[in-house]
Structures are given as structure tokens and as C-alpha cells.
Amino acid sequence: MCGICGVWYFDNNRSVEAALIRRMTDQIIHRGPDEDGSQLMGSVGLGFRRLSIIDVAGSHQPMHNEDGCVWIVFNGEIYNFQSLRSRLVENHQFYSSGDTETIIHAYEEFGTDCVKHLRGMFAFAIWDAHENRLMLAVDRFGKKPIYTYLDNEKLIFASELKCILEHPNISRELDREALDEYLAYGYITAPRSIFKSIRKLPPGHTMTINADGQATLQEYWHPTMLPPDQWDRRPLEDQAAELREILKEAVRLRMISDVPLGAFLSGGVDSSAVVALMSQVSTQPVRTFSIGFDESVYDETAYAQIVADYCHTDHVREVVRPDVMAILPKIIHQLDEPFADSSMIPTYYVSQAARQHVTVALSGDAGDEVFGGYHRYLYAYRHQLLQRYIPHPLRSPAESMGRVMPKFTKLRPYLSVVNESTDRWHDLGGFFMADRRAELYTPDALHQLGDYQAEQIKQTVLQQGHELDWLGRIQYGDVRGYMPGDILVKVDRASMLASLEVRSPLLDHEVFEFMARVPSHYKLAWGGTKIILKKALGDLLPPQIHQRGKKGFEIPLKEWLAGPLNDLMRDTLTSERARHRGLFNPVVVSRLMDEHTSGTGDHRERLWALLCFELWAQEYAA
């Protein structure tokens, strides 16, 4: 895994300074501690930091083609590079054995369509001196990031936003709509960033910039979910058997490495599935890693040990006692943008633990989005069934029964909203809903935001999936929003902070395309989730894992904010700098803190979001 950056001045008489590229690469040394590289070509400058994984002794970057007219800086891994190379070798001269050079020659062969031939996670920039153009690309799901700044004079790009800020005179004006999205969901999705002047390249897109500074954004892949009339209607057993082979190949490809490799193991279904398949592929015991906490309610290492024993892995369990006061500033600096998923902290700790032993780790990330594993998917399923079987005239009486009759206690969450759209389950969460944001903002901040509401983003996405069934719409919304905006950002930033490469075989695009055809009832039933995944790998997993419910990567955030983090929270959110920003009503902020501290309210997610924003603003905002 690596970090990339670059600058292109559209005035050929203006040269990129070596010192600027050096400052930019210094900001991402954690992404590539093994070596750095740069290439200055007058008005174009490319920078690179390398974490050596494939062809360790070779594949130095920036890299060029045979005649030196095509240059690349590349972050990621191309898992099918060997088969692709065999197709290209007849017409191209290769000087290395890694995947980077394969992209260069694929570009020469297929042009900007080269991305359609790549299977992996990637973010890269190609400078084509012959065509006098620059191409940027990110993988289908947005596992690897590219930030861009474009004006009439220049283009700047980088793996992380902080690199772009090394260039003088970059505006740091907040994008108020991006801030509203952050407060609603805890993250900011592409193409927006927290700054108006800086954008993110969306998943599955390329951007081509010509010498006039004209940028063309092109979507080359879309996470298409299929409607019911296009589902694969074969028996569950047949589809599960096929899924097993597809998953096994996805795992095998991600085990190609010239450096030590292992896996995260939480004891959940997803990470356990990956480890089980790795054990099938590998001739040696798989190295696995888990972390636990002193607080037993947050410690899942017992389940991880069950899987480790069952799969005969070389398992490392580490108990961590998070020094959140020390680690929080480091994480805020790493994130570049406001980000409120507190599981970033344990993700960093498990990455740090794994990095002491390996350079690459496979994970079970995105299994919930792909296979249908979230609790809210199950809630939506039950809600949808009740809507199907309770006639419309009886729904209001059913709501009343659910509220007052004890025997309906377990159905109460569903009966009480049986008249509402199933799409409501997409927005479950603990951040600021629209009415709470309206109360939180100062009058001036609310005026500057205008009529915009962050919910419009998800409403638009859900409308695009109008032909899908209820589960398809919710999964589609997550794959377009929550997954690239939260899950993949968390994994990339946390692992890169530890200089660890993390690979996610469950989010292989061929796995996704297969699952897009699978009927919803093969994913969910009234009593459980991930039916087809468990069917596919049933004999590879211990029975205890089959029976486990979904459990997230949690930390004692509620207790921290009422205890060891309370002083930091109060000092930060009531500081003069926070008040001077004029964004949030101090009376509302104080009320949230008081209620949480006294135990009369649980505002952990909201207060964490506000704390992370203000700590970020103190470092990055104007």
C-alpha cells in the first residue's frame, strides 16, 4: 500500500518545485514508510511513498513505460495482474515483476478503459506526455482515496487531503452541505469534502484532465442491484456452492504477497469466513490477530479463539487499554476530514497489533453490506412482512395493540411503524436528525445552509433503486453511501496509520455482482441474516459462530464521555475558538453534555461527532 500525490500547472512556463512535492509526500509517510520517489517534468510533478508488498526489490515509483512518455503513481493492489500481464507481454516490454507496470501497459493497450480490466483496490494517476493529459482513477468501491483541487491554473491530487493543503493559498472555506451530511451520518461522501475547494473522486470513476484544465468525470462501474424479476431462481444449495468457489478465489488472489501476511479475526461470521477460506488455500497455518478490552462486555476474543482453534491458526490475542487522550489527536490528524465512527479506535489498535507481525492483513469488511447482515436489514425484513400480511385497514389497530399488549412486546418496534415506508430503516442511527440539526445550528449557520438537508442524498439514492425490493434498496443505499463514506474510510485510514495493508475479499466486485442476483430470501429470514454465506461455508465454521448475533466493533464511548473524556469534551466544545466559529448553539451543546454526564440522556454519538469536528477544526479549519 502506498501514498500518491501530484501537481500540474497548466502554464507550461511554470515549474513544479521539488520542495512542494517533498512536503506533500512527507505528509503521507505513514502510508509508505519503505521508500519515497518523485518525478519532476517541468509543469508536472509526481510524488510517491511506498509500502513494499509485491516485487519488493523492484517496482519503484513513479514508474514509466518503455519510451518514458507515460508515467504512473499507484496506490493499491491489482490481484489479477499476473493473468493481465500474460495478455500484454506480447506487445509490451516489462522491466519489473509487480502490478504497477501492468497498469501502465494496460493503459497503453486500452486507454482510460484499462480500469475495466483491473481486479483489485486502487487509486492511481497516469501522466500521458504524448496526449498531454492526466488520468485519475479509483477502484469500483472506493477502497483507496483520491482528493483533488482544480482551478484555472492547476490541478493538485493526493491520497490524503492534508497533502493538498501543503500548496499555498488553498481555500479552507467549509462546505456547509458537507458539514450537514457529517452531522446527520458521521461521515462525508464523495464527491464532496469538508472544504468547498477540494473534492473526492467517487468510487468507480475516472477523471481525465486536459491541458486547458478541462476535467471529464466518467463512471466506469456501478454497483447495480437486480430487481426481483432478474433474480437467479436456482435452489439455495446450488447458489451457495457457486458462492463458495467465488469467495475461495477472491481470498486466494488476496493472499499473493512477497511479505508476511495474516488476517483480522473478531469471531464474527465475516472475519471467520475469510480465515476459514484462507486456511483452505494456505499450506501453512494462517496468522490471525484479535484485540480485547478490559471491559468484558466489549471483549469478543473468546469467539476469535474458538475460530482460531477450529481453523488451527497461529493466533495472537492482545488486550489493549486504550489511552484515548493520547491516541485521539493522532487519529484526528490522520483523518483529514471530520469522521465520527468511534470504531476507528479499535480498528487502529488491531492494525497496530497485526503490523508487529505482518505487513498485509485480510479482513471481513463489507460482509454486512454484501450479504445482508445488519440488524436494520432484519428489522426492515420483519417490518416488510408485517406490511404484507396486515391489511391496510388493520394497521392502525395493530399499532395500538403493539403499544399496550405485553404479548406483542417483541413486535412492538415493527407494529408501531407498520404504516411507514420500509425505507425508514435505512436511517437508523444516533447522530443528528434534521430537527435536531436545526436546533443545533446557530441562526446564521442555518441561514447559510438554506433549504438543504443531508437526507436528500439518501433519498436520491433510494429513488435510483426504485425498481428494487425493500432489501435491495437499503443495500444499494449502503453501498453508495455508508460503505464508501464510513467503513472503507475507517479501514484505509486506521490501517495506513499503522503502515499496514488491509485487503477485503468479501468486497471483490465479482462477489458483489454474484450477490446482486441472489434473492433477498436467500440473504435474510425472520430469525437470521447471511443465510447463503452460512450455507456456503457451513462446514468450515464452528457451530458457535453460526449461532452468534451481529456485534459491532464497539468501545465504551458512553462511559468515556461521562468520565475520562469529559473534561476534554467540555473544554473543547465550550472553547472560545468553538464559539467564534459560530456554527453551533452553545446552549444546545451544553445541554447535551449535561444530560449525558448526569445520565439523564445518552448522547454518545452526537457528542462524539461534535468533539471530533471541533478537534479537527482546530487543526485544519481556517
Which H or E run contains 2?
A: strand 2-9
Sequence-distant (6+) residues with CB within 8 A of 361 are: 261, 262, 263, 264, 289, 351, 354, 495, 500, 501, 502, 503
- 563: three-class secondary structure by DSSP: coil
| The residue to which cell 467549509 is assigned | 174
Cβ count within 10 A of residue 590: 13
β-pair type (261-264, 360-362): parallel
Active-site hit among 2, 5, 311, 612: 2
Query: What DSSP character marks residue 195?
Result: B
Q: How far is CA 497 from CA 43, 355, 369, in A?
A: 31, 10, 25
132: left (phi over 0), alpha (psi -120 to 50) or beta: left
Give the Cα-Cα-Cα angle 449, 474, 389 (nearest 5 degrees). Answer: 125
CB 535 within 8 A of CB 523: no
Q: Is 2 a catalytic residue?
A: yes
CB 244 within 8 A of CB 505: no
Q: How far apart are the first and last CA of the chain?
A: 31
Which residues partner with 149 through β-bridges? 156, 198
Rounded-to-integer distance, Cα 382 and Cα 380, Å: 5
Give helix then strand counts, H and E, for the chain.
28, 19
Dihedral angle, C-alpha 486, 491, 494, 500, nearest 10 °: -170
DSSP per-residue codes, 75-137: EEEETTHHHHHHHHTTTS----SSSHHHHHHHHHHHGGGGGGG--EEEEEEEEETTTTEEEEE
Q: How far is CA 107 from CA 82, 100, 102, 127, 204, in A?
A: 16, 11, 9, 11, 16
Rounded-to-integer distance, Cα 240 and Cα 222, Å: 24
Cβ count within 10 A of residue 424: 13
Q: How far is CA 137 from CA 73, 114, 219, 522, in A?
A: 11, 10, 10, 34
CB 70 within 8 A of CB 130: yes
Cell triple for residue 4?
Answer: 500518491
Question: Closest Cα partner for 311 from 276, 282, 287?
Answer: 276
Just list the catalytic residues: 2
